[in-house]
């Protein structure tokens, strides 16, 4: 039994550094209004062939209610675990990165890349790190609540496009992360995938609500494709994402704002619906409340011009309420705290 294991280790050691330099472009972000934390990324590493036991979302570590850490470029699970420990201990993103650089598990911090976003005293903070030994093109971008990083890239335009798409997407955190990945959907974004006619070989996106258990994000979508298949994983991920999450920006419009009002937002124990429309017993209007992934969590009918809806049993997070008016359905997002 020793010979096959030894041969496997030798072959693993002979794999080119470009293959082992996982992963290529990614983003971490937090939402200080909803308390959500999220991570998304993609790479041209063939997980099906070389790392079949890796979870596709392995580089992203979400600590619900606290922050998100992406550990990439010569990925080292001990460094990832250490980063998590430092965040749980209360370190800021920059303090975590400073510690990681000084205490690299493999003694080679220049080969690593990190992106960290966290809540510090309730406010978002971010920090990024790109080791000088990571493969070109390499860089990272930090914003108030996000950090975008990449290596083995086609160029700075990939990171810039991810940032622009993230900032211009009007939806919630999940929608912004998906938009950021779409910004990197360029053939050869990870230059190793140019011959595959794709940006990458695998992609993932995940978001945790404040009350999610660690390791069980409310939203998780992943795709991994084989090398040579010429499949764009970001498009495949978008299809899975759309099946689980809505990025509709429909809200109360100007022509019906005088007829319907939904408040408070954020809400604690209840939300109130008021309307100037004529409500009769025969024209009860249904309402539906959905959670962040589109699951119906509460429904009922509007029977009076003022209706209080008890939401005390709902977990904290982002929801949408739709009033099924026959003339013009109204949908509005609200936050339960």
pLDDT, tens digit (0-9, with 9 covering 90-100), for 244-265: 998 865 444 433 444 678 888 7
Q: Quick check: bond before 201 cis, omega within 30? A: no
pLDDT 10s digits, 178-228:
999 999 999 999 999 999 999 999 999 999 999 999 999 999 999 999 999
Residue 4 lies in a domain: no
Give the domain range for residue 203: 17-244
Tokens of 35: 């308390």
Q: How far apart (Å, rounded) are the C-alpha atoms in residues 59 and 271?
A: 38
Instruction: Report the DSSP beta bridge partners of residue 30.
Output: 37
Same domain, 54 and 153: yes
pLDDT computed for residue 252 by the predictor? 40
Same domain, 207 and 109: yes
Numbers of helices and strands, H then E, in the chain: 8, 17
77 and 202 both lie in a single domain: yes
Residue 251 lies in a domain: no
Residue 41 near residue 25, CB atoms below 8 Å: yes
- Residue ending a domain, choose from 209, 244, 279: 244
Query: How far apart are alpha carbons 265 and 271 in whole angstroms?
Result: 8
The total number of structural domains that make up the chain: 2
* pLDDT higher at 276 or 141: 141
Whether residue 3 is contained in a domain is answered as: no
Q: Do 232 and 266 sit in the same domain of this protein? A: no
Distance of CA 296 to the CA centre of its chain: 22
């Amino acid at each position: 039994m020793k010979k096959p294991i030894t041969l496997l280790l030798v072959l693993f050691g002979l794999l080119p550094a470009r293959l082992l330099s996982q992963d290529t472009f990614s983003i971490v972000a937090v939402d200080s209004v909803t308390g959500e934390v999220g991570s998304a990324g993609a790479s041209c590493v063939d997980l099906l062939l070389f790392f079949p036991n890796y979870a596709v979302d392995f580089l992203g570590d979400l600590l619900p209610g606290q922050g998100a850490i992406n550990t990439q470029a010569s990925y080292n699970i001990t460094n990832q675990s250490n980063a998590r420990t430092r965040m749980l201990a209360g370190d800021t993103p920059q303090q975590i990165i400073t510690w990681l650089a000084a205490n690299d598990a493999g003694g080679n911090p220049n080969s690593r890349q990190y992106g960290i976003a966290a809540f510090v005293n309730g406010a978002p903070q971010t920090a990024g790190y790109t080791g000088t030994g990571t493969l070109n093109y390499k860089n990272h971008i930090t914003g108030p609540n996000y950090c975008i990083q990449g290596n083995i890239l086609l160029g700075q335009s990939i990171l810039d496009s991810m940032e622009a798409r993230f900032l211009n997407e009007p939806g919630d955190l999940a929608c912004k992360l998906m938009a950021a990945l779409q910004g990197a959907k360029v053939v050869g974004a990870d230059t190793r995938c140019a011959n595959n006619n794709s940006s990458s070989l695998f992609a993932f996106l995940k978001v945790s609500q404040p009350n999610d258990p660690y390791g069980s994000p409310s939203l998780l979508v992943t795709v991994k494709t084989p090398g040579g298949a010429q499949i764009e994983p970001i498009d495949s991920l978008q299809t899975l994402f759309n099946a689980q999450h809505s990025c509709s920006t429909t809200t109360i419009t100007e022509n019906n704002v005088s007829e319907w009002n939904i408040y408070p937002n954020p809400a604690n124990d209840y939300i109130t619906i008021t309307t100037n429309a004529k409500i009769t017993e025969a024209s009860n209007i249904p309402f539906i409340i959905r959670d962040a992934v589109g699951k119906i969590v509460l429904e009922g009918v509007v029977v009076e011009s003022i209706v209080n809806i008890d939401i005390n049993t709902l977990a904290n997070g982002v929801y949408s309420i739709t009033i099924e008016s026959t003339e013009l359905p109204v949908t509005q997002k609200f936050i339960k705290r």
